Amino acid sequence: MKIDYGLALADGLGQGRVTKEALEGFHPELIEAQNWLEAKRRSQEVGFMDLPFQDLSPILQTAQEVRRKFDHFVLIGIGGSSLGAQVLFDALWNPPHNPQVYGEGPSFHILDNVDPVKTTETLEEIEPENTCFCVISKSGSTAEPMANFLVALEALEKAVGIDKARRQMVFITDPEKGNLRDLVKEEGYRALEIPPNVGGRFSVLSPVGLFPAAVLGINVRRLLKGAYQALKSCEKRDISSNPAWVITALHYLHHTLEAKSISVMMAYYEKLATFADWYRQLWAESLGKEGKGQTPVKAVGAVDQHSQIQLYNEGPRDKIITFLQVKNFPTNRRIPPLYPQKPALAYLGGHTLGELINTELAGTASALAKRGVPSMTITLPSVNEGHLGALFMIYEIATALMGHLYGINPFDQPGVEEGKRLTYGLMGRKGFQEKGKEAQEIWSKGKEGTLTIDLGD
């Protein structure tokens, strides 16, 4: 894996204050941030960097059993409790290309949203009696997974009775606290543990991401090995060999010196597009605090060249872009040389689609650089468990370091909580009546300016 970042430096762009010297001069700040993070790790306040060393046996044993017994697997969880597994599913488990690698596992479904149609359709697609439902919630109180859990449990109970229904569920939650843990203790549901010092969006390498991955037949040992190797690189106190430092320093310097308040991640491989969703959550929820943070944006090449690139090139100069590139695709396709007499078609003939998509990335990055828009390109030799494990670890460390540089706590999410409390109040949850009233008052103000469009029937 490599990161090319020359086009994020003033020399490559022919302009700007983020010079090679500025990058090298940032060393003391990076050392300070790294010391802070390592101290948090040593005191066990922050646990995501220790996940490569976890005991995998409970995950693997339970996953083996689920693979053997069930035809369908439904993950119920949201945000940090579902996005990591979604990345692994989209990037790696891609039939019809890989059935020989991953074997015949259960069909895979994610219920993150409380979209009534999606939940209904998912429950109609599976046969409840042959389905394992995996409910993932660190807090055990998030409205969306709790609602989907209740709906799924009812469907399951109708199909197989309550005792069997409970045995078809696996919870992944805090080892001590929360409603799911209480249910484990009271009713004997099976459960795996999320380490208390690993927050939702930093938990993909815990049972949260590893258990669903193992059910899919993905090699979770290789994922952790990739993460471990990345962790080692990210311990190097030298910017030329520490990938997290490069990402952190360039994003921070471009934000503070050049007002690049938007960070775009543009994946030139559709199966990696979900990684950009994962990044979007990690960067936004960790860093968007106290007026700080960069707005993360997901884009997909080459499709979004025909949607976003006009803006990136000639719109506000507020973006830094990370391109994700894959060297070897699992399958590739030659473009046939069918119309040699037509120059607009002839030049394509004999190349592959993979060559074209990567060349489009090069063309796009160069056009952006000509206008002074900074970018870096992360190239994966191929998309496999090891590379994904490494990417997860690098971005988690970079995010933590960014948080320290901004002077905020990257591991909490106070801005999400108030919306949750107001919703609890509106939904009539005990203890939240005052919040309900407050929400009603504010919400009703929105209706003081109303426009109604009569569309007949």
Name the site residues for ligand PA5 (rule: CB under 6 A): 78-81, 137-139, 142, 145, 199-201, 285, 413
* Nearest CB to ligand PA5, comparing residues 63 and 180: 180
Tell me the C-alpha distance between 256 and 208, whole Å.
35
Judged by beta carbon, residue 13 or residue 194, the one nearer ligand PA5 is: 194
Tell me which of 176, 306, 430, 445 is the catalytic residue: 306
If the CB atoms of residues 101 and 153 are measured against ligand PA5, the closer one turns out to be: 153
* Smallest gap from residue 59 Cβ to ligand PA5 (A): 17
The encoded tokens of residue 243 equal: 């990938």
Min dist CB 347 to ligand PA5, Å, is 46
Instruction: Provide the token pair at 66.
Output: 């689920």
The question of whether 306 is a catalytic residue gets the answer yes
- Short-list 169, 214, 205, CA closest to 392: 205
Would you call 185 a catalytic residue per the annotation? Answer: no
- Least distance (Å) from ligand PA5 to the CB of residue 432? 17
CB-nearer residue toward ligand PA5: 288 or 386:
288
What is d(CA 314, CA 296) in angstroms, rounded to the nearest whole number? 19
* Residue with nearest beta carbon to ligand PA5: 200
Task: Map tokens 């597009």 to a residue.
Answer: 273
Residue 271: both structure tokens together: 């199966």
- For the CB of residue 172, give the shortest distance to ligand PA5 in the complex, in Å: 9
The residue among 76 and 383 lying less far from ligand PA5, judged by its C-beta, is: 76
Q: How far is Cα 149 from Cα 77, in angstroms, rounded to an integer?
A: 9
Catalytic pick among 285, 289, 385, 404: 285
* DSSP state for residue 269 in the 8-state scheme: S
From residue 432, alpha-carbon distances to 79, 243, 428 in Å are 23, 45, 7
Task: Report the nearest approach of ligand PA5 to the CB of residue 292 (Å).
Answer: 17
**Residues found in the chain:** 457
Report the alpha-carbon distance of residue 348 to residue 356 in Å, rounded: 8
What's the rounded Cα separation, in Å, for the pair 369 and 375?
A: 8
Q: Are the C-beta atoms of 117 and 59 separated by less than 8 Å?
A: no
**Residues belonging to the active site:** 285, 306, 420
